[in-house]
Amino acid sequence: MAAPVMGVFDYLVPVAVEGPLLVGQRVRVPFGRGTRMGWLVGAKAVSELPEQRLRRVLSVLDAQPLMPPDLLRMLVWAARYYQHPLGEVLSAALPKALREGHALARGEPCWALSAEGRSADPGALRRAPAQLGIYLKLRASSAPVTAADLDAVSSGWRRAVAALAARGWVTVSHAAALPPVADIGPDEPPVLTADQAQAVAQINAARGFRCFLLDGVTGSGKTEVYLRCIEQVLAAGRQSLVLVPEIGLTPQLLERFQRRFPVPIALLHSGLSDGERLRAFTAASDGTAAIIIGTRSAIFAPLLRPGLIVADEEHDPSYKQQEGWRYSARDLAVWRARELGVPLVLGSATPSLESVENARSGRYTRLVLPSRTGAAGQPRVSLIDLRQHAAREGLTQPLLAAIRRHLDAGGQVLIYLNRRGYAPVLMCPACGQVLECPRCDARMVLHQQRGQLACHHCGSERPVPAQCPDCAGELKPVGQGTERLERALAAAFPDQQIERIDRDTTRRRGEIERRLNRVRREEARILMGTQMLTKGHDFPRVTLVGIIDADQGLFGSDFRSAERLAQSFVQVAGRAGRAEHPGEVYLQTLFPEHPLLRVLISKGYAQFATLALDERRQAGWPPFTCLALLRAEASERAPVSAFLQAAAALARDQAPAGLNVLGPASAPMERRAGRYRGQLLLQAASRRELQLFLPGWRAALAEVETRRRVRWSLDVDPVDLF
């Protein structure tokens, strides 16, 4: 049940049960003074509790388990691995409607030809006219056909359909569970390049579990590789689960899948209503959905006939849940694929250092797509030294000249600045005052169009003051945000339409698509914005990418900052030049000699990754060690440090040799949303060692006296150390 307590509770079997008790069924049980819904996660002959203290299950809600056993096993395992209450893990993983006791949303059955049926020769049915009639009916319709449709063909259709199903030509699905299959026309698959063909062959040859790292530059045809592997999985009558970092940003991807495969596809992401989520979950679990595409939580999709798991952009930090149960969908995918005995493909142009190391050590099979599919080679990257070329409103002369040159040549231009708002700082030059968030250790960002100062950490806003609150001097915006940069670009290129894409301009539903479409139709030739632009979009006519501020994050304090920075550079640079248009990338920097920039530009991401891994090894950071981060926060500082001190003392007491306890320390941004935050880091030589240590320590933490005065959480394999 969704109780925030650790552990599993024992109950006696109900007095009267119809049919077997199965793991994955929901039950109603007495709990405290009331009753709660719970999940049956296992059975045992003897409880540690005396029999008179055991209470009895009141009723069993489901005839069939709602979850396949592999999924439940994964959740039980993950609750332990992440040291999180199983009840909350189940809640996070399953549709709300199921937690509220609703049944699966099965719709009316309907029938369609299988891939085999579509390519079959109907001549084989010459002697079975009833089957032939049904076959032709199914072949003529683009969507699955209902019983009513088949009644109209012949009254004996049920037998004919059963015979066709026995041949493997027909599949049954449940119509209402999914929106109708979009009929957007077939897509002629391209002839694979030799590298792609090699990758597809290796993945398709995998029998059982194997993890592949598909390491291919942007535009090298990774998606095409997924599609070919999925094609084979479909032909074998199995399902494919495809994880993507963000669906809202990639409607093109879905279209590409639908174009290639006219089969039911279930979408699972955070934007669904409860009903839609339940239908998608049902369609995955009863096999209606042949392909399931979703974000992080789609790793919990139940699969009736699993065949393949893909995690695209596997390096993306959004695979890690950052609050509540802090799981990594990418890491769970590895566990689940092994459990299901299916291949897993992790794809990226900038693989995480964890995956690079796993490939190097031979745990993963690395498949490389070194070049783009089109004629265009890799973009040429140049640095613009901001010490030599002063920027005005963020733009230097060489960058302006390059933009003009590319526009004149008919290309499109993408300008990247990962900072929204007008200016990150509003200050008073007279007294030096900088306007800060009253609730965070952070500056307020000026949003000129809205006339607001906003804190990007706690979300608080207030109107822009007319003058300095201290000395009544005139306030001056310092630095660049996308809003200001848009203005500067509009001034420099008055006859160009500019599309700005950031969280402020794309709040309305469908707005991203409208803006991207104007770019694709070439109504706008200058495209600018934040990180959102780096997420998988294909801009075939962008020939120039300008990175306004390469120094943002160059000196970050987190051990992952270099990796993140390299990934976003390479991802954004990868938008330059696709198909037949060669590309150019310019980076504006004050530190053209910085080793990270030098290596990335002259040697590329793979070489960067090798060097960065060497540094990680020497410094003892992941993937060469395993981390767990204990965070605590409270409205005052004292209880935070008291709790963390106690936690540290316990850890030092219980820790085996080789497990380091680092801290406690205050979080890099100590005060956020009015709360003081501190943390304690555990660093272990291996996963095993950490896993052996955590349960006992966590149990002890739950007894620490100051725990009630703080909010605390444990993050196993944290991606951010704050």
Q: What does 418 bind: ligand ADP, Zn ion, none (CB cut-off 5 to 8 Å by kind)?
A: none
366: buried, middle or exposed (CB in 10 Å: 19+, 13-18, 0-12)?
Answer: middle
**From 189-197, 384-392, 482-490, 510-518, span contacting ligand ADP (CB under 6 A):** 189-197
Decide: helix, strand or coil at residue 699: helix
**From 216-224, 236-244, 404-412, 479-487, span contacting ligand ADP (CB under 6 A):** 216-224
Q: Which residue has the tokens 């973009």?
A: 379
Residue 620 Rama label (left phi>0; alpha psi -120 to 50; beta) = left
Q: Which is nearer to ligand ADP, 187 or 461 (CB)?
A: 187
Backbone angles phi and psi of 75, in degrees to 5 = -65, -40
Strands 452-454 and 365-369: what pairing?
unpaired
Extended beta strands in 559-710, E state:
584-589, 626-634, 659-672, 675-684
| CB distance 483 to 447 below 8 Å | yes
Distance CA 163, CA 170 (A): 9
Q: What is the closest distance, in whole angstroms, from the C-beta atom of residue 578 to ligand ADP in the complex?
A: 7
The 10 Å CB-count burial string (b at 16+, else e) for 376-395 is bebbebebbebeeeebeebb
Q: What is the closest distance, in whole angstroms, from the C-beta atom of residue 619 to ligand ADP in the complex?
A: 32
Q: Which is nearer to Zn ion, 440 or 446 (CB)?
A: 440
Distance CA 454, CA 420 (A): 11
Q: Which residue has the tokens 């049902």?
A: 282
Q: What is the closest distance, in whole angstroms, from the C-beta atom of residue 216 to ligand ADP in the complex?
A: 5
In the chain, the N- to C-terminal Cα span, in Å, equals 31
Q: What does 190 bind: Zn ion, ligand ADP, none (CB cut-off 5 to 8 Å by kind)?
A: ligand ADP
Decide: helix, strand or coil at residue 195: helix
Q: What does 440 bind: Zn ion, ligand ADP, none (CB cut-off 5 to 8 Å by kind)?
A: Zn ion
**From 31-39, 219-227, 289-297, 440-448, span contacting ligand ADP (CB under 6 A):** 219-227
> Which residues are at the interface with Zn ion (CB under 5 A)?
437, 439-440, 455, 457-458
Q: What is the closest distance, in whole angstroms, from the C-beta atom of residue 38 to ligand ADP in the complex?
A: 43
Q: Is 193 in the site for ligand ADP (CB under 6 A)?
A: yes
Task: Report the candidate in 399, 241, 435 with the shortest Cα–Cα distance to residue 333.
Answer: 241
Q: What is the closest distance, in whole angstroms, from the C-beta atom of residue 315 to ligand ADP in the complex?
A: 14
Q: Which is nearer to ligand ADP, 241 or 721 (CB)?
A: 241
What part of residues 2-61 is at the interface with ligand ADP (CB under 6 A)? none
487: buried, middle or exposed (CB in 10 Å: 19+, 13-18, 0-12)?
Answer: middle
The binder of ligand ADP chosen from 25, 171, 328, 373 (CB under 6 A): 373
Q: What does 458 bind: Zn ion, ligand ADP, none (CB cut-off 5 to 8 Å by kind)?
A: Zn ion
The binder of ligand ADP chosen from 190, 208, 429, 658 (CB under 6 A): 190
Q: Which is nearer to Zn ion, 453 or 682 (CB)?
A: 453
Q: Which is nearer to Zn ion, 279 or 419 (CB)?
A: 419
Q: Which is nearer to Zn ion, 137 or 419 (CB)?
A: 419
Task: Report the candidate in 718, 638, 708, 711 with the shortest Cα–Cα distance to residue 682.
Answer: 718
Q: What is the closest distance, in whole angstroms, from the C-beta atom of residue 194 to ligand ADP in the complex?
A: 10
Q: Determine what percent of the chain falls in helix, strand and coil, rounding each to the nearest 5.
A: 35, 20, 45
**R_g of the chain, CA atoms, integer Å:** 28
| CB distance 694 to 661 below 8 Å | no
Decide: helix, strand or coil at residue 177: helix
Tokens linked to 627: 């981390």
Q: Which is nearer to ligand ADP, 540 or 663 (CB)?
A: 540
Q: What does 220 bind: Zn ion, ligand ADP, none (CB cut-off 5 to 8 Å by kind)?
A: ligand ADP
Distance CA 633, CA 243 (A): 33
| CB distance 386 to 349 below 8 Å | no
Q: What does 457 bind: Zn ion, ligand ADP, none (CB cut-off 5 to 8 Å by kind)?
A: Zn ion
Q: What does 455 bind: ligand ADP, Zn ion, none (CB cut-off 5 to 8 Å by kind)?
A: Zn ion
The binder of ligand ADP chosen from 221, 351, 379, 481 (CB under 6 A): 221
Q: Which is nearer to ligand ADP, 190 or 695 (CB)?
A: 190
Q: Which is nearer to ligand ADP, 220 or 568 (CB)?
A: 220
Q: What does 373 bind: Zn ion, ligand ADP, none (CB cut-off 5 to 8 Å by kind)?
A: ligand ADP
**From 125-133, 184-192, 686-694, 701-709, span contacting ligand ADP (CB under 6 A):** 184-192
**From 63-71, 192-200, 298-306, 592-600, span contacting ligand ADP (CB under 6 A):** 192-200
Q: Is 534 in the site for ligand ADP (CB under 6 A)?
A: no
Q: Is 216 in the site for ligand ADP (CB under 6 A)?
A: yes
Q: Is 196 in the site for ligand ADP (CB under 6 A)?
A: yes
**From 38-46, 220-228, 460-468, 681-689, span contacting ligand ADP (CB under 6 A):** 220-228
Q: Is 358 in the site for ligand ADP (CB under 6 A)?
A: no
The binder of ligand ADP chosen from 83, 171, 220, 348 (CB under 6 A): 220
Q: Which residue has the tokens 């990774």?
A: 222
| CB distance 493 to 453 below 8 Å | no
Q: What does 224 bind: Zn ion, ligand ADP, none (CB cut-off 5 to 8 Å by kind)?
A: ligand ADP
- Report how far apart, in Å, the C-alpha atoms of 2 and of each of 76, 91, 605 are: 14, 6, 44
Q: What does 216 bind: Zn ion, ligand ADP, none (CB cut-off 5 to 8 Å by kind)?
A: ligand ADP
DSSP 511-557: HHHHHHHHHHTTS--EEEESGGGGSS---TTEEEEEES-TTTTTT-S
Q: Is 223 in the site for ligand ADP (CB under 6 A)?
A: yes
Q: Is 348 in the site for ligand ADP (CB under 6 A)?
A: no
Extended beta strands in 394-486, E state:
412-416, 425-427, 445-447, 452-454, 461-463, 476-478
Residue type, 361: S
Q: What does 205 bind: Zn ion, ligand ADP, none (CB cut-off 5 to 8 Å by kind)?
A: none
Q: What does 218 bind: Zn ion, ligand ADP, none (CB cut-off 5 to 8 Å by kind)?
A: ligand ADP
433: buried, middle or exposed (CB in 10 Å: 19+, 13-18, 0-12)?
Answer: middle
Q: What does 302 bind: ligand ADP, Zn ion, none (CB cut-off 5 to 8 Å by kind)?
A: none
| CB distance 233 to 256 below 8 Å | no
The residues that touch ligand ADP, with contacts defined as CB under 6 A, are: 190-193, 196, 216, 218-224, 373, 538
